[in-house]
Every structure is written in C-alpha cells, then in structure tokens.
Amino acid sequence: MKRILSGIQPSGTLHLGNYFGMMKPAIALQEVGECFYFIADYHALTSVHDATELRDNARDVALDFLACGLDPARSCFFRQSDVPEVTELAWILSTVTPMGMLERAHSYKDKVARGLEATHALFAYPVLMAADILLYDSDCVPVGKDQKQHLEMTRDIAQKFNDRYGETFKLPEPLIGDETGTVPGTDGQKMSKSYGNTLEIFGSEKALRKKVMALVTDSTPIESPKPMENSTVLALYRLVADDADFARMEAEFRGGGFGYGEFKQRLFEAIWEIFAPMRAKRAELEREPSYVEFVLRKSADRAKRVADGVLARVREAVGLR
C-alpha cells in the first residue's frame, strides 16, 4: 500500500477553501492508501507569532479534521512539532539545496509581496517541506497548482542528496485527484485567510449568513439574465449543492427573474446544511479534549518510529554517528 503524506497549517479558522481544497480529498484518500497527515505548526511560525494563538489553532485543526471524517484508525494524524526529527533532516537537506532553487520559489515571492516578513524561515520553507515529505518515505503527495513547484523541488533535493551520498530517499510522486479548482472567496479572489475573504464552516449561523449575503456581485437587474462566467455564487454553490439544485440555479441565472439575494440565501442554506453533521461531531469532540490529545500523541509515536528509521539511514549516509 502506498504511503500518502499531506499537511495543513494551523494559521486560522477552517474555511471552505481548506475543506474542499485539502481536507475533503485527504479524507477520501484514506480508502486508497496509508495516510500520514500532520498539523504544520513549525511552518505556521512564519505567520503566527503568538504562542497561545498557535496552540489554539493547532487544537482547532485537530478538531476540524476529526469532525470532518478523518479516522485515526486508518490515518496517522499528528502535530509536526511532535516529531522534531524533521528539523534535523531539514538542516541536512539544506546542505545540498542550491540557493538558486530557493530564489525561484513562487510561494516566497508571493508571500513577501503580500506583506509577510522576508525571514530565513520563509525563504527556506521548501526545504522544511521536503523534510516533511522525505522523513516518512512518502510515495505520493496530493498537490494543487500552487503546490506543484514545491513537490518538484522536493524531488530535486532528494535526487541531489542521492547523487552525492547514494540511494537514500524515495522520489515522491504527485497525486492529482479530481480538480475542484480554486475556491473563490467573498471578493472573488482565491479564498485565503491572507486575503480576509473566507467563509468559515464552523462559525455561527449569523456570521456565515452575513458573509454569504455580502458576496460581491454585479448590478444586473432582477428581471435580466445574470452573467455566469466568473460568478462566485455559482462557483460556491457547485461545491455544496446536488446536481439537480445546481442545474436549477444555472437555468435561473440564464433565464432572469431572480435577484442575487435569493441566490445567496439558497447558497447559505446549502452550506449550513451540508456541514451540520460535522458541526455536531465537532461539538462532541470539544467535550473530549483528552481523546483528541490521545489521538495526536499516539499517531506521533507511530510517525516517530518511521522518522527514526529514515533519519538513521540519512545520518549513516552523511557520516553522522
């Protein structure tokens, strides 16, 4: 069985983009492989600088993932920092990583352009990501368009290490699933905490309704057909509605006679309904914090056993005893 690895940063409240872009596909992959999923709290240090916030965010991600269907009996689910061996591997990998490779990283340029401080950690982010992947002998990594370059860099780093020290690392393959596409935020851009345009799935009913009703739309009159291309309302409704309901909304966009307010109300109701069972499960888990911590610790022990074996192989290869 192939080992699949993925991680999610604890940098804020779970939103539709997180769920449909990463979490829903990750949970489905439990059926097809051995899944290692981690809460990337080391990575989050590049943007979260308050200790209490980071701990709370990590706890919330654990609750979110378990509430959304992650099965700890079938997946290894742990905090990145509970296996600190990843930082040693990142340092060793950095000795074979060319500066030019890091300077070409799109993610670094994008984050600095959005106002993040240009730290060494942000610049060397792809090396720690490579360590995350290689430390667990991962066979496959689910990737989207914005992550494809990072996996290519991981493969390049692993190959450079193998060329220098002998065959030590597997070269992980990208795992391309059904493309959801970019999940748009309330302003039509990609949904992202960085842009402040998210729709949280575990927020209050009132807050969610307010955000959905404030979605950016045009000024087309009620009686006129609505433009369908680049419609945020349609793109979001496609994710949460069944085929028949979505086809009906498309037809009503084309036919006219309906206002955006009605479409937004229908979108809100669909979002609220689809996540109702997950909200109930999350509330149940919040009452059992010791269980959530048990899951993370037990999985970290399992991940550490794998990591220790890989790191022993690496240390032997480079001459560390």
| pLDDT tens digits for range 234-291 | 999 999 999 999 999 999 999 999 999 999 999 999 999 999 999 999 999 999 999 9
Q: Answer whether residue 234 is part of any domain.
A: yes
Q: Answer whether residue 196 is part of any domain.
A: no
| Exposure letters 45-78 (e unless 16+ CB within 10 A, then b) | bbbbeeeeebeebbbbbbbbbbbbebebeebbbb
Q: Are 240 and 307 found together in one domain?
A: no
Q: Are 132 and 250 found together in one domain?
A: no
pLDDT bucket at 193, cuts 50 / 70 / 90:
confident
Give pLDDT, residue 1: 84
Phi, psi (degrees; rounded to nearest 5) at 175? -115, 105
pLDDT above 90 as % of the chain? 83
Please write the tens of the pLDDT for every residue from 296-311: 999 999 999 999 999 9
Q: Are 37 and 112 found together in one domain?
A: yes
Q: Are 293 and 270 found together in one domain?
A: no
Q: Is the pLDDT of residue 317 over 80?
A: yes
CA-only gyration radius of the chain, Å: 21
Q: Are 141 and 247 found together in one domain?
A: no
Q: Are 128 and 211 found together in one domain?
A: no
Show Cβ contacts of residue 24 under 8 Å, excluding neighbours closer than 6 positions.
68
13-17, 98-102, 175-179: least confidently modelled range: 175-179
Give pLDDT, residue 181: 63
CA distance 88 to 104: 24
Q: Is the pLDDT of residue 203 over 60?
A: yes
Q: Answer whether residue 94 is part of any domain.
A: yes
Please write the tens of the pLDDT for every residue from 33-72: 999 999 999 999 998 999 999 999 999 999 999 999 999 9
Give pLDDT, residue 104: 87
Q: What angle do CA 175, 145, 99 make, to 5 degrees?
A: 100
CA distance 78 to 302: 9
Give pLDDT, residue 180: 53
Give pLDDT, residue 240: 97
Give pLDDT, residue 222: 94
Q: Answer whether residue 227 is part of any domain.
A: yes
Domain tally, the chain = 2
CB 125 within 8 A of CB 43: yes
CA distance 154 to 160: 10
pLDDT bucket at 232, cuts 50 / 70 / 90:
very high
Q: Answer whether residue 192 is part of any domain.
A: no
Domain harbouring 250, CATH code:
1.10.240.10
Q: Are 50 and 177 found together in one domain?
A: yes
Q: Is the pLDDT of residue 194 over 80?
A: no
Domain harbouring 109, CATH code:
3.40.50.620
Q: Answer whether residue 115 is part of any domain.
A: yes
260-274 and 205-213 helices, crossing angle to 10°? 150
Catalytically active residues, by annotation: 111, 190, 193
Q: Is the pLDDT of residue 179 over 60?
A: no
Question: Domain range spanning residue 245?
Answer: 203-274
Please write the tens of the pLDDT for every residue from 112-156: 787 888 899 989 999 999 999 999 999 999 987 666 777 999 999
In this structure, what DSSP letter does residue 202 have? Answer: S
Give pLDDT, residue 12: 79
Q: Is the pLDDT of residue 96 over 90?
A: yes
How far are the Cα atoms of 21, 233, 278 from residue 238, in angstroms, in the given order? 14, 9, 19
- What does pLDDT average to over the chain? 93
Q: Is the pLDDT of residue 163 over 60?
A: yes
Q: Are 89 and 171 found together in one domain?
A: yes
pLDDT above 70 as % of the chain? 98
CB 198 within 8 A of CB 13: yes
pLDDT bucket at 195, cuts 50 / 70 / 90:
confident
24 CB burial (10 A radius; 0-12, 13-18, 19+): middle
Q: Answer whether residue 190 is part of any domain.
A: no
Q: Are 267 and 219 found together in one domain?
A: yes
Q: Are 171 and 97 found together in one domain?
A: yes
Q: Are 122 and 245 found together in one domain?
A: no
Q: Are 268 and 223 found together in one domain?
A: yes
DSSP string, 117-156: ---HHHHTHHHHHHHHHHTTT-SEEE--TTTHHHHHHHHH
Q: Answer whether residue 189 is part of any domain.
A: no
Residues, the chain, total?
Answer: 321
Q: Is the pLDDT of residue 81 over 70?
A: yes
